[in-house]
Structure 1
Amino acid sequence: MDLNQLTELDLEQIGEWPGLAKAMLILLLCGGIAGAWYAFDTKGQLQRLRTAEQEEMSLRHEFESKQQQAANLGAYRRQLAEMEESFSTMLRWLPNRAGVAALLADISQTGLAAGLEFESFQPADETRQDFCAELPIHIHVTGRFHELGRFISGLAALPRIVTIHDIDIGARQGEHDASGTGVLLNLKATVKTYRYLDEETAE
């Protein structure tokens, strides 16, 4: 069957076509139906299948993550309890408004107990931070080297948080202690303590 015979075929006389032409027509019709079926039905199903597979993978990862969290829930709760206890302990190191005056007295008493002489003791305005207020105290004391060391060690041993900043130490020219054996030193520094802001004050 050649091309001339194909051009002479009449669609109204399909029954009289040669077997090969009928087979080719059937194949074309089947291919067209299959293509239309794929375009209008199968393609959408495949797309939905891929979407469902992606959702399945996402849900699987989410499930595994939540399963791991659930398995570690006890450890998380213990860790949270430990953090809350540590935070409560730290808050106890910060005085409230009523405890500030007593802390200032403790700082002064620590210096006197170390044998220092206070030239000045000047609390400054507090500076508010997130959950606490910083209370700077400018001090100027006089004493021997070991007395200054005992004073700083005493500050570190206080039950409240006390830090010392901007330290300036110098010898007092021509002055000695009462025994005449030690050089007197001047210590100028800023001692800082911190006051806990309770909820009412913070608001």
Structure 2
Amino acid sequence: MATSLSKIDLNAWFAEFSGQFQGLNPKEPGQWPLAPKLASALVVMLAVIGVGYFFLLSDVEAGLDAERNREPRLRQDYQAKLAQAVNLPELRKQKSQVEEYVTQLEKQLPGKAEIDSLLSDISSAGVGRGLQFELFRPGQVVIKDYYAELPIAVKVSGRYHDIGAFAADVSNLSRIVTLHNLIVVAPAGARDANGPLTMEATARTYRYLDSAEVAEQRKAAAKAGGKKK
């Protein structure tokens, strides 16, 4: 008996509920029954939530995904910097050693005023080995970023061992001098295997830039950087 009554009441409620959606006037929603009003409000709310998600939350979610993608790289950067921080005393020690080494190398570079003395040392090294200079001509100074390079065209004649000793003497000078494009030939028509030879080479010596030249280089670099922009 109770079951039959509940069934009748449920059917009646459903019929009454569905009846509220019949004959609605879309031009006068204010006169709708309660059920259609609640249903319409729910649809509008869901629509607003959907539009808000696509136009607002979607950008936030995209930003969140981008930050998540950055996380592995940031983690690697953190680990690298952590390793550097742990090894900071050793890195400072290595930096000090490099600076000391650079200072030693700079001492091997003559200044502008010492170039003439160095040229004299190169010439004396050849004369001391009994070589005859057929050519000893300094070229145009080439300015680099941190130093200047002076090429010297050299042509000497002498015995093979004396030429070799001269090259060794040049490499052992207190200042840095390098030999490039070496050509050693016997004079044309020479029949004596132990006779004199001729060596042509380009000796290059290097000097550090003075303060005025350094300032000029920085000015040129800044000007070049401004043109690139």
TM-score for both structures, normalised by structure 2: 0.64
Residues 166-185 of structure 1: pairs in structure 2 closer than 5 A: 166-172=181-187, 182-185=194-197
1:67-96, CA deviations, whole angstroms, 9 ceiling, x for partnerless residues?
632540415444433433332232222111
Instruction: State the AA in 2 paired with 1:170.
Output: V
- The correspondence for 2:199, drawn from 181, 187, 195, is 187
Residues 127-146 of structure 1: pairs in structure 2 closer than 5 A: 127-146=142-161
Percent identity over the alignment is 27
Aligned match of 2:84: 72
Higher relative strand content: 1
Residues 23-102 of structure 1: pairs in structure 2 closer than 5 A: 26-40=38-52, 44-45=56-57, 47-48=59-60, 50-52=62-64, 54-55=66-67, 58=70, 61-62=73-74, 65-66=77-78, 68-73=80-85, 74=88, 75-102=90-117
Structure 2 Cα separation of the partners of residues 9 and 130 of structure 1: 87
Distance 1:31 1:146, change over 3 A: same
TM-score for both structures, normalised by structure 1: 0.71
Runs (5+) with no aligned partner, structure 1: 16-21
Indicate the RMSD between aligned Cα atoms, in angstroms.
Answer: 3.6
Aligned match of 2:218: none
Distance 1:71 1:166, change over 3 A: closer
Instruction: State the AA in 1 paired with 2:187.
Output: R
Number of residue pairs matched by the alignment: 190
Runs (5+) with no aligned partner, structure 2: 1-14, 216-229
How far is 1:49 from its partner?
Answer: 5.3
Distance 1:47 1:91, change over 3 A: same
Structure 2 Cα separation of the partners of residues 160 and 68 of structure 1: 40
Structure 2 Cα separation of the partners of residues 42 and 118 of structure 1: 86
Structure 2 Cα separation of the partners of residues 101 and 13 of structure 1: 108
How far is 1:189 from its partner?
Answer: 2.2
Structure 2 Cα separation of the partners of residues 199 and 112 of structure 1: 35
